[in-house]
Amino acid sequence: MKELTRKGFLAKGLASGLALMAAGVARAQKGPMLAYADGIKEGWWIGGWAKQTPAVPLEDQKPVEITMAAWNVFTFQTWQKLNGPDFKTLTLLVHGGPKGKQEVSLRLRLGEKAYESQVTLKGLKGKWVRYDVPLKDLKVKDGQFDTIELRNASAESLEPFYVNFVILQ
């Protein structure tokens, strides 16, 4: 977990991937693949039953604002079956909003089948945090996935938090 600014994020090796996606270079698989950056990207959609508002202005970004009741789920989904071995890392930015202290579980799914392994992401009060999650930590191995899931694994509601720059590489 690293605190960072938007400039720092772009300067840390993802600028080339973002430039490719912004230029409209179509790639079926083999990263980088951008799911969300200041708005949902072509081929992806938002799902789950958590309250969500895409492209909310926050500082110099337009993340998706997520508000989760107890046990709620938020997803980024694609129609493609993505091959786990084609990607090494899932990167995303998380902002804890004015209160912070949110904890959500990140895991991958193929349809309704979720992979058992998950990683905990934490929102920090008033700060962006960059998470670089190795796909090996999510136990995809040779499998496929089509959904990136964030889950409130508690019986408590979470304060609104924000997610931006979701990229597979």
pLDDT of 121 higher than 60 = yes
pLDDT of 11 higher than 90 = no
Q: Which runs of E-coded beta strand occur in the chain? A: 2-3, 33-36, 44-48, 51-53, 64-67, 73-83, 89-95, 103-110, 113-114, 119-122, 128-134, 144-151, 161-168
Q: What is the mean pLDDT of the chain?
A: 86
Confidence of residue 24 (pLDDT cuts 50, 70, 90): very low
pLDDT of 131 higher than 50 = yes
Q: What is the pLDDT of residues 49-84, one digit of tens each?
A: 999 999 999 999 999 999 999 999 999 999 999 999
Q: Would you say the C-alpha torsion 20, 23, 24, 25 has a positive or negative sign?
A: negative
Q: What is the pTM of this model?
A: 0.82
pLDDT of 17 higher than 50 = no
What six digits make up the tokens of 106? 């990140």
